[in-house]
Amino acid sequence: MVVSSGDTDVDVVVVGGGIGGLGSALALARAGLQVRVLEQASEFGEVGAGLQMAPNATRILRSWELLDQVVAHGVLPRRLVLRDALDGRELTHLDVADLERRYGAPYVVIHRSDLHSILLEACRGAGVDLVTEAAVTDIEIDDEQATAVSGERRDTGRLVLAADGLNSRLRRLLSDDEPVSSAYVAYRGTLPVDALPDTSAHTLDDVVVYIGPTRHFVQYPLRRGEILNQVAVFRSPRALAGEPDWGTPDELDAAFAGSCEAIRAALPDLWRDRWWRMYDREPITGWVDRRFALTGDAAHPMLQYLAQGACQALEDADCLAGQITKHAGAGTSGRNAWDAALTDYADLRTDRTAQVQRVARTWGELWHCDGLFRSVRNAYLSDRDPTDYRHVDWLYRT
């Protein structure tokens, strides 16, 4: 393993205690490094609802000895189903059991806070130093170490890793780009399955996505099938018009008027007091400056149409830890090992994540098309052989 030298506090300082930051911290700690996580909030936690963890991510969770916990807290769905949002008919599906046979790991859906808690406890068990109320505003970088500056606090490591999300303050050290608005907004909600007036109206063992003109609607079970997760996404006319107040509940109702009965019946169960505007960024190649690097959404924020945001963050973590281990094990010493590991990490991950970012945008266009394009799309999907994996092999087989 790479051995620290000089007056560093730890080997790696991770800025951000979300899923990407904790995943990176755990992977690096498992590789034998001393790791500290700096979280700006007063406590570690996650906001949101469901996450879909595809085989490319669950394979990594298994290697970290966490997959059994994730499955125990989540759901192994039977199928991934696409339906038309206007008439409700099934267009195509993927058999999840077949996904596990093909890719060697399961497809799991889990509450975001449950996955975060599992990673947090694993970090504690691995000896990661977890620090709250540390809002990092700047990084001081040289050829051998970097320092995260948060008020009077200074944390120095062989590497500072920015995992501070879509609106990363630290990404500006490498790029002056800004988040890109998709003009789409998401409403979420969960409710106990026991509270459903008619459970026969829901498919409670599938991940179902209704796709339609400028809108889509997602349903799947969480927490061992005890709650139903629902997400409504639509394009905001006010966003397109450049108005600051966009994505409001009245736009939600207008967007889904004319949708099938299953969607209209579910809309009242969504949270109406909060919504999530959807942004990504253009891919960049410059993730590393000497001993400072980006990871997760700070490096490659993406739209959610491939359900890969968290999955790609875990891939980043696994790759970085693997490259540090590889170069230390190859006998490369000190500074050269870190430099080589970071160079290879960026080279391996930037092309992969850029592809996911771009394809996610394309899938959004496919889901939301109208008119003749919708008819052609539906015909193509309806004719698809459910065992045809050409369009996901590149994503799930890593």
pLDDT tens sequence across 275-292: 999 999 999 999 999 999
Neighbours of 81 (CB within 10 A): 19
The predicted-structure confidence for 48-59, as pLDDT tens digits, reads as follows 789 999 999 999
Q: How confident is the model at residue 195 (pLDDT cuts 50, 70, 90)?
A: confident
Counting Cα atoms < 13 Å in the Cβ hemisphere of 73 gives: 18
Residue 132 has what pLDDT?
97
Rounded Cα gap, residues 398 and 102, in angstroms: 12
The predicted-structure confidence for 246-274, as pLDDT tens digits, reads as follows 999 999 999 999 999 999 999 999 999 99
| Average pLDDT of the chain, as a whole number | 94
Residue 3 has what pLDDT?
42
Query: In degrees, to the nearest 5, what angle opens at C-alpha 315 toward C-alphas 275 and 38?
Result: 65
Rounded Cα gap, residues 25 and 31, in angstroms: 10
pTM of the model: 0.95
The predicted-structure confidence for 29-46, as pLDDT tens digits, reads as follows 999 999 999 999 999 988
Q: How confident is the model at residue 6 (pLDDT cuts 50, 70, 90)?
A: very low
Query: What percentage of residues in the chain have a pLDDT greater than 90?
Result: 91
C-beta pairs of 202-207 under 8 Å, 24+ apart in sequence: 202/228, 203/81, 204/228, 205/75, 205/77, 205/78, 205/79, 206/77, 206/78, 206/79, 206/80, 206/81, 206/93, 207/52, 207/77, 207/79, 207/80, 207/81, 207/109
- What is the token pair recorded at 339? 């430099």
Q: How confident is the model at residue 4 (pLDDT cuts 50, 70, 90)?
A: very low
Rounded Cα gap, residues 302 and 166, in angstroms: 9
Give the orientation angle of helix 309-329 with respect to helix 55-63, to 10 degrees: 50
Instruction: Tell me which residues are annotated as active site.
Output: 220
Decide: residue 358, CB within 10 A, 0-12 exposed, 13-18 middle, 19+ buried.
middle
Rounded Cα gap, residues 149 and 138, in angstroms: 5
